[in-house]
Amino acid sequence: MKNYDVALRELLAGMKLDRAVHRVTLAEAYGRKLAQDVVANYDTPQFDNSAMDGYALCDFSGGRSEFKIVERIMAGDDVHFSLQEGEAARIFTGAKTPGNTTTVVMQELTKVEGDQLYLTEDCPKGQNIRYCGEEIKKGEILFHAGHVLDPAAIALLASQGVWEIEVYQDLRVTIFSTGNELKEPWENITGSEIYDANRYQLLAWVSSLAKAKDGGILKDEYASVLAALSSAAKENDLIILSGGASVGEADFVAKAITELGELHMWKLAIKPGKPFGWGRIGQCHIIMLPGNPVSAYATFYLLAYPAIKALMGLSPQLPQLMATINFGSDRIQPRREFLRGNYYQDERGEYFVDSVGLQGSAMLSGLSYANCLIEMKENQATAKGSRVRIYPLPKEVAKA
């Protein structure tokens, strides 16, 4: 059996993809990855301006405490004059400072009588002025290719008059389930038929990262599996299948992938999730997950999720924490086990973790309430109160 750390390293090494590029507007840019460097069109700020509401002063000699107010300047006003020694202009945040401004004094440090301004405290030169180009110079690189655009990055681009950018196209992913026993949730089931839970959890998983297409259920018929995979591989960057990872007489998926491309079948030294496969059909990557729902969940998060992020050019590193375990286990087994758990912080900021629900590989109820996977090391017992590694799950708040 293959060690989990070795398996993840080998899988990520194979996640290479030449992605197409297209242009999007800033309104469509959130979460997208830049395909080329973006440079500044303008200095930032583009002109000297006031950092707060107050008065622009001209005091070359230094030490003045009395000034004559000669003008009032709002943000957006054109300013084509210069102050003379001893003059002041009422000014508001973001407004362009007039020529010869030596400092801006905040209004709280002044007293006004008619057109006379009196300082109640000393105001050193250069205070409260945002100087042209002090943040960014025209021609500087704002973002290098590969930068993922968050709200702050989008705001900076807009402030530079950039409204269209070159980004990598979204990863195209299709999800299939396999097996004659599977039925859709709206269908009636009889005998040994079961509802298809995996495809829907995988569609939800992938939708948090990329565009996910529902490929439906592949029945156990070789010609139809071959045709479906051949067609999907031409239109996708990645195909994910659940079921078919345990190769048997009735599992046609591995045979079809091998005929169309290449496939690596692994027996992983983890629990849940021993069977796992990955490969390619042409330029399209393939990932095969176990059929048991919890096994599919665990192997997706521990292996497929980092692989997808690698294909997107993002860091594949999963978040990890060390926590004190509130239970123990005397079992010593050859496979690393990932238990479903709930972690929390105490008042001192220390992390603790409890086991959640039943832990069988087909038991979804405990998993639905878990917020982490607890790593139980292979070939050793785990004492209550010891420190263990946990993998927090990306449990997002539902959209309102």
State the CATH number of the domain containing residue 264. Answer: 3.40.980.10
Same-domain pairing of 256 and 383: no
Same-domain pairing of 139 and 256: no
CATH of residue 25's domain is: 3.90.105.10
pLDDT, tens only, 137-179:
999 999 999 899 999 999 999 999 999 999 999 899 999 999 8
Token pair 């990557």 is found at: 285
pLDDT, tens only, 181-198:
999 999 999 989 999 999
pLDDT at 385: 93
Asked if residue 208 has pLDDT above 70, the reply is: yes
When divided into structural domains, the chain yields a total of: 4
pLDDT at 249: 42
Same-domain pairing of 124 and 241: no
Same-domain pairing of 331 and 211: no
Domain that holds residue 113: 49-130
- Tell which residue, 230, 167, 177, has the closest CA to residue 22: 167
Asked if residue 10 is part of any domain, the answer here is yes
Asked if residue 400 is part of any domain, the answer here is no
Half-sphere exposure in the Cβ direction for 267 (13 Å, CA): 5
Same-domain pairing of 236 and 261: yes
Could you say which of 259, 287, 312 is where a domain stops?
312
Instruction: Give the predicted TM-score (pTM) of the model.
Output: 0.78
- Say if CB 29 and CB 154 are below 8 A apart: yes
Same-domain pairing of 285 and 343: no
Instruction: Pick left, alpha or beta for residue 76 (phi over 0 → left; psi -120 to 50 → alpha; otherwise beta).
Output: left
Could you say which of 312, 331, 349 is where a domain stops?
312
Could you say which of 272, 294, 312 is where a domain stops?
312
Q: Which amino acid is at 211?
A: K
Asked if residue 251 is part of any domain, the answer here is yes
Half-sphere exposure in the Cβ direction for 9 (13 Å, CA): 5
Asked if residue 397 is part of any domain, the answer here is no
Same-domain pairing of 32 and 162: yes
pLDDT, tens only, 68-91:
999 999 999 999 999 999 999 999
Same-domain pairing of 202 and 288: yes
CATH of residue 121's domain is: 2.170.190.11
Asked if residue 399 is part of any domain, the answer here is no
Token pair 């629990």 is found at: 271
